[in-house]
Structure 1
Amino acid sequence: MSSERKDKVEVEEDRDEEKLLNNEKEVTKDTAQSGTSDKSKYDEKNNKGGIHQAILRIKNDNMFRHRIVHTAILCWSFIGLGWSAGMNGPVFPDLRQIIREDLATSSWMFTVGSFGYLSGSLVGGILYDKLNKVLLLAVSSLGSGICTLFTPYCSALPWMLFIKFAGGFFFGGLDTGGNADIIYVWGGDVDTYMQALHFAFSFGALLSPLATEPFLAGKTTVCDELNMTISNNPTDIPVTTKESRNGVMTSVSPDLKSFTSANSTQLLKCTDRLGETNVHYAFLLSAVFMFSATIGYIYLYIKIRTKKQKLNATHTETKTDDKIDKRQKLPVYLKIVFLTLLSLLIASYCVAEDSFAGFFMTFSLDYLKWDKSTGSFATALFWFSFCVGRFFGIFIVSCCKNSTLLTLYLFLLSFAYLGFVLTTLFRFHPLVWVFITILGFSMSVVFPAIFSWTSEHVIHVSGKISALFLTSSCLSGMVFSLLIGYLMEYVHSMWYAYILLIMSCSCFVLYFCIRVIRKCCVKKQTQTRETDIKAGIEMTLIQK
């Protein structure tokens, strides 16, 4: 009996190996059709594309409808997440005014926030795989809303740093959980929905600067009279420009303004100051998004508990069998190499994205000499192009491979940052606006495409893997926020653009290395595996 059973097992193994070697996709298709018969019949009839079929499926398929509702709530919370990210740059000068600190010291807000984000990503990634996923997302959303609400009321630097850390902690947990949850919900069909989730993030980031701008403090010039007068001699004053105030000509120097009369000139010491800020209303709007998302997660949690609905894990595993097979081809050491390089890639990309939005308002005020309104609209233009790119990414990803998307968009990102550096260096403002638009579009699909590509070719993106990626992005944010703030304060404002150009080029180089390693090593591993399978089949046939 044991020998017969052994022969039967060997025959089954040979059959599986032959199928895997000759037609791996056909095996996946057969496995998927044998998973759930009723579901397959419904899919063959109705899931052929188009809005009408999607509506029918939502009406008739309870599980699909549950996934759509789940995804909608995730997208709503990511609108709030993007709203908070989009307002970081515009409100930064007002928060500096509230805590009364200089640029270098205030940059600690970004660093501490990034450290909180890092901690939240680590804790959230670990807890996501162990606790109730929806309830964890609800707690993260609630905590984010509370921290956002109290941020503008922290007038002391220690309290501001504490609230930034706490807010970053909850935002990190929400971001990690959301990215892992969308993959858990949709499995092998995640590409489109991952792009939709990040489109929701960019949509919130687009609206945020526009909604925040009316509540920002205006810039005013305050002049103090000096107790001295000099003769009306233009050579006595380092004049740079001339402006008219109520019909009287004013000579303006970097630190002094002078009101010129017929015989003498009265010097005034003038400084630029911010007026009264109403930025707490902007933070209130952001908190409303997070609180409403919390209600959605609570509804989802109660619905799952009362009706005992769970995601169909069997269906998810069935639909991703082909991708699981691709991942299994990689040995452990190659997975470690890929995850390390991908973490560095995400870290470099997040510096290029987050630092641009976070410091651009300050850069535009100090170096480009724009006013706050112009800086806010430039930030909004960046997020608008970012949002449009992610919207089109929802459809592009269905007809284009993630690897191709990453190659094209990372090259475009490097080109756009090069143009941004040159146009700001020579202060050619019309082209600055053009390259801001290209920057937003080129960044749009990179982050979700990295997640999807990793899940397809390297390893399943669980809560821990999502935490690894977001942790690397937070570490880079902590370091480079301090570095950029220091260089802008004590060296030159253009270092803001130089560093972002270096990071964008690093992204392209890192991804090029990843593609080369995968093409060489994985191809070699696949050929070796196919040779072993053929040899095993031949030996089995000879023995028989």
Structure 2
Amino acid sequence: MWWDENLLALFRRNLQPTITYWSVFFSFGLCIAFLGPTLLDLRCQTHSSLQDITWVFFSQQFCLLVGSTLGGTFKKSLKLCLFILLICSLTISLVFSIIPFCKHVGVLAMVMAVAGLAMGNIDTISNMQLVKIYQQDSAVFLQVLHFFVGFGALLSPLIADPFLSDTNCILSNGTLNGSSNLEHIRNSIVPHHPGNVSHYVLPLHGPVLTNVSYAFWIMAAINLPVPIAVFLLMYQKGMVPGCDRRRGSLLSADELAMETQKEKEMYDEKKPGTQEEHIHKEGHAVHFLCCHNKKFWNAPHTFFAIHVCSAAILFMTDGLVGEYSGFVYSYAVEEPLSLPHKTAGYLPSLFWACITLGRLIAIPVSYKVPPRSMLLFNLVGMSATFLFLILSQNSIPSLFIGTASLGLFLSSVFPSMLAYTEDILNYKGCATTILVTAAGMGEMVLQILVGTVIQAQGSYSFLVFGVSLTVLALSLFMVLLVLDNMHPRRLEGSPEKSPEPANYPDRYQQ
């Protein structure tokens, strides 16, 4: 049977929280992708220069990193996690509603900073809770989770597109108002790298004609069911003050994970002597302890090396997502390809569409294929794609084929790496915060670095940089495989002899 009965039973038991976390991640995706297409209209709304408005990206991304780190501090309490998700999902709808009223770029930056904090908490908490619920079976559910963020990121530009200005939305005499020029500027804007638009001069004063406000209000309305879903989950768990629907069900995340493990033991009919029974005897209270464990610093050296290695890989791969989507247009319109602006504008859309498609494909694949095999396939595919792009750099069809291929290979790297790393570390939960933060840092830092290199060395360095990062990421993954074999399969701080590796289902056998 394609779907394992035990896993299906576990999914049914956790149906409402799982769907809630998926929907919250859709809210995250909806918020992360709207800023790029709407930035020129927001520039008109705030009467700011291109250089000033692009720093709004920085305020969002920096606070997203802060929020990702803060989200990891709430892992002890399921009640607190759900409350934070409720506040954050409501905040995103509120941000969408407020943006049309921001008439100064400083106010807009502060609003986007608040949105970034909300997005960061959502990112860490949703990943962390799914890992805690499903543990060794979390890979497939993490793939669904990241499909929803891709779906939201694909939807928000489509919602905004009909309301974007076709001409310069600040009316001023003597200014070039052609739609082709504005479309070129819109595709050239790269987050965290305002220098790439410094040579464009657009008017700052005059009447503003833009309908982009309607797009934000539509997105605010689309997002409203998400906080409602979180509230219903809190109500179902008896976490709403004054509601005694399920008194006594205020489970912490650790208790929820303990019940999940007990259920899986009941379904799988574990034999005596397995790791699951050993952990049960030792007590589940220490199962998810990580940085707060008093013996944390006495952990094996491989414990720290695994965190560093996994974080570095995601730093590079998520950085590649931001780098490629941000600079592929600029690469295509310059020599030797010299694509027309409109044709080159399809490349970022194709890239994101293939990322979303790849995450959809990865859902059934991750059920049969273990995370480390998927990671190896993806990283080899990414390296091969960049080599193909370099060898065929004068071919326009090859650029489109390579863009689609790279999107497919990059799509499932993050959820697979998260599932694999937590698997190595016995699902203690602290890896999630570190990996989410490292991925966000990579997306922000590498765009600045690549933009600087391209300006100094030319567009060809765009592909050279991609090959270097993918080969380095693949090399680090080989190191991670060695660390996996070296790392003891036991609870850190347990004095007893390390138990044998967990007896995973057949689909996880290597």
TM-score by length of 2: 0.71
Q: What's the counterpart of residue 434 of structure 1?
A: 401
Asked if structure 2 preserves the Cα contact closer than 8 Å seen for 1:104 and 1:482, the reply is no
2:357 to 380, 388, 400: 388
Asked if structure 2 preserves the Cα contact closer than 8 Å seen for 1:94 and 1:216, the reply is yes
CA distance in 2, matches of 1:372, 1:222: 25
2:232 to 283, 299, 308: 299
Q: Greater share of strand residues, 1 or 2?
A: 1
2:27 counterpart of 1:80 = yes
SS state of the match for residue 218, structure 1? coil
**C-alpha spacing 1:349/1:512, structure 2 compared with 1 (3 Å):** same
CA distance in 2, matches of 1:347, 1:488: 20
CA distance in 1, matches of 2:144, 2:423: 18
| Equivalences for residues 77-476 of structure 1 within 5 A | 77-99=24-46, 105-130=52-77, 132-218=80-166, 276-305=209-238, 306-308=245-247, 309=249, 310=251, 312-318=256-262, 319=264, 322=275, 331-360=299-328, 370-371=340-341, 375=345, 377-420=346-389, 426=394, 428-462=395-429, 464-476=430-442
**C-alpha spacing 1:491/1:178, structure 2 compared with 1 (3 Å):** same
Q: CA deviation at 1:388?
A: 1.9
Q: What's the counterpart of residue 197 of structure 2?
A: none
Q: CA RMSD in A?
A: 4.0
1:81-107, Cα deviation, whole Å (9 max, x unpaired): 223333344334444555566665544
SS state of the match for residue 301, structure 2? helix
CA distance in 2, matches of 1:523, 1:460: 14
CA distance in 2, matches of 1:86, 1:361: 17
Which AA in structure 1 matches 2:230?
A: Y
Q: Which moved more, 1:164-173 or 1:347-356?
A: 347-356
Asked if structure 1 preserves the Cα contact closer than 8 Å seen for 2:66 and 2:120, the reply is yes
Asked if structure 1 preserves the Cα contact closer than 8 Å seen for 2:329 and 2:344, the reply is no
**C-alpha spacing 1:126/1:522, structure 2 compared with 1 (3 Å):** closer
Q: CA deviation at 1:112?
A: 2.3
Which AA in structure 2 matches 1:169?
A: L
Asked if structure 2 preserves the Cα contact closer than 8 Å seen for 1:188 and 1:316, the reply is no
**C-alpha spacing 1:322/1:497, structure 2 compared with 1 (3 Å):** farther
**C-alpha spacing 1:484/1:159, structure 2 compared with 1 (3 Å):** farther
Which AA in structure 2 matches 1:384?
A: A
SS state of the match for residue 398, structure 1? helix
2:472 counterpart of 1:506 = yes
Q: What's the counterpart of residue 17 of structure 1?
A: none
Q: CA deviation at 1:416?
A: 2.3
Which AA in structure 2 matches 1:473?
A: A
1:257-280, Cα deviation, whole Å (9 max, x unpaired): xxxxxxxxxxxxx99999954333
**C-alpha spacing 1:224/1:493, structure 2 compared with 1 (3 Å):** farther
CA distance in 2, matches of 1:459, 1:146: 38
**C-alpha spacing 1:533/1:114, structure 2 compared with 1 (3 Å):** closer
Q: What's the counterpart of residue 180 of structure 2?
A: none
Asked if structure 1 preserves the Cα contact closer than 8 Å seen for 2:24 and 2:85, the reply is no
What number of residue pairs does the alignment pair up? 425
1:406-454, Cα deviation, whole Å (9 max, x unpaired): 011011112223444566x53x332222122111101111100011101
**C-alpha spacing 1:143/1:389, structure 2 compared with 1 (3 Å):** same
Which AA in structure 2 matches 1:316?
A: T
Which AA in structure 2 matches 1:470?
A: V
**C-alpha spacing 1:533/1:355, structure 2 compared with 1 (3 Å):** closer
Asked if structure 2 preserves the Cα contact closer than 8 Å seen for 1:487 and 1:495, the reply is yes
Q: Which runs of 5+ in 1 are unaligned?
A: 1-47, 226-269, 526-531, 535-544
Q: CA deviation at 1:336?
A: 0.5
Percent identical: 21
